[in-house]
Amino acid sequence: METFPGTLSTLNRDNFKQVARALTIVENGLKGADELLKSLHFIKNIPIIGITGPPGAGKSTLVNALIGNLINDGHKIAVLAIDPTSPFNFGSLLGDRIRMSAYFNHPNVFIRSLATRGSLGGLSAKTIEMTDVLRAAGFDYIFIETVGVGQSEIEIAGLADVTLVVLVPESGDEIQNIKSGLMEIADAFVINKADRDGADLFVNNLKKLVHQKNDSLPVFKTIASQADGIAEVTNFITSAKRKKNNRKEMLLAEKIYRLIQQKRMADINKTELQQTIAKAIAEPDFNLYDFVDRYSTTS
In percent, the amount of the chain with pLDDT more than 90 equals 37
Poorest-confidence range of 159-163, 165-169, 274-278, 280-284?
A: 159-163
- Spatial CA neighbour of 149 closest among 13, 242, 55: 55
User: What is 44-82 written as a DSSP string?
Assistant: S---EEEEE--TTS-HHHHHHHHHHHHHHTT--EEEEEE
Pick 136 or 125 by higher pLDDT.
136
Pick 159 or 152 by higher pLDDT.
159
In percent, the amount of the chain with pLDDT more than 70 equals 76
* Position 194 confidence tier, pLDDT thresholds 50, 70, 90: very high
Mean per-residue pLDDT, 250-278: 82
* Position 9 confidence tier, pLDDT thresholds 50, 70, 90: very low
So what's the pLDDT on residue 95?
A: 52
So what's the pLDDT on residue 177?
A: 55
Contact, 63 vs 145, CB < 8 A?
A: yes
Residue 86: pLDDT over 80: no
Q: Does domain 41-259 have CATH number 3.40.50.300?
A: yes
Pick 126 or 111 by higher pLDDT.
111
Mean per-residue pLDDT, 152-176: 74
So what's the pLDDT on residue 87?
A: 46
Residue 148: pLDDT over 60: yes
Query: CATH 3.40.50.300 spans which residues of the chain?
Result: 41-259
Pick 181 or 207 by higher pLDDT.
207
Mean pLDDT for all residues in the chain: 81
Mean per-residue pLDDT, 89-112: 69
In whole angstroms, how far apart are CA 165 and each of 54, 59, 143?
9, 9, 13
* Position 91 confidence tier, pLDDT thresholds 50, 70, 90: very low
Mean per-residue pLDDT, 40-54: 86
Pick 234 or 244 by higher pLDDT.
234
Distant-in-sequence contacts of 233-238, Cβ < 8 A, 24+ apart: 233/62, 233/66, 233/164, 233/188, 233/190, 234/66, 234/69, 234/70, 236/162, 236/188, 237/47, 237/49, 237/66, 237/141, 237/162, 237/164, 238/70
Residue 98: pLDDT over 70: no
Mean per-residue pLDDT, 126-151: 84
